């Protein structure tokens, strides 16, 4: 099963620990680190995912509120990628963050 969601992401600028260069509009170079909204859930869960910019523009360090589609085949993602859930973007270290706006069917 493929889990898909729309999200808004913000990437840290390069000089603040973000990526050193832009990524193509469709990339599998970033890992989603998501937490559930459950009070007893403190651990984040990493997911390999394809992230595609809806405007087909590259993902550039310093981007703010870039609309993307996230797709992952990890079945556990259903519990984590729910509307309103926040996540971190990771590429060896945190390089940005995002929030899920809606799930796609």
Q: What is residue 15's predicted lDDT score, i.e. its pLDDT?
A: 98
C-beta separation of 24 from 71 below 8 A: no
Domain that holds residue 27: 3-104
The Cβ of residue 35 has, within 10 Å, a number of other Cβ atoms equal to: 15
The Cβ of residue 12 has, within 10 Å, a number of other Cβ atoms equal to: 18
Q: What is residue 105's predicted lDDT score, i.e. its pLDDT?
A: 73
Overall domain count for the chain: 1
Phi then psi for residue 5, to 5 deg, are: -150, 150
- How far is the C-alpha of 64 from the C-alpha of 61, rounded, in Å? 9
CATH of the domain at 98: 2.40.30.10
| Residue carrying structure tokens 């913000």 | 10
- How far is the C-alpha of 23 from the C-alpha of 4, rounded, in Å? 20
Longest CA–CA separation in the chain, Å: 38
**Average pLDDT estimate for 33-42:** 68
| Residue carrying structure tokens 């969601």 | 5
**Average pLDDT estimate for 3-18:** 97
- Give the pLDDT band of residue 27 (cuts 50, 70, 90): very high
- Give the pLDDT band of residue 22 (cuts 50, 70, 90): very high
Q: For the segment 41-100, what is each residue's pLDDT rounded down to a tens digit? A: 556 889 999 999 999 999 999 999 999 999 999 988 988 999 999 999 999 999 999 999
């Amino acid at each position: 099963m493929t889990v898909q969601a729309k999200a808004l992401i913000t990437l840290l600028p390069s000089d603040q620990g973000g990526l050193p260069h832009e990524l193509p509009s469709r990339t599998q170079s970033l890992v989603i680190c998501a937490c559930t909204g459950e009070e007893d859930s403190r651990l984040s869960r990493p997911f390999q995912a394809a992230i595609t910019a809806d405007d087909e523009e590259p993902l550039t360090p310093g981007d703010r509120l870039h609309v993307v589609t996230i797709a992952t085949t990890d079945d556990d993602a259903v519990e984590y990628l729910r509307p309103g859930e926040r996540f971190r973007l990771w590429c060896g270290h945190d390089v940005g963050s995002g929030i899920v706006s809606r799930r796609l069917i």
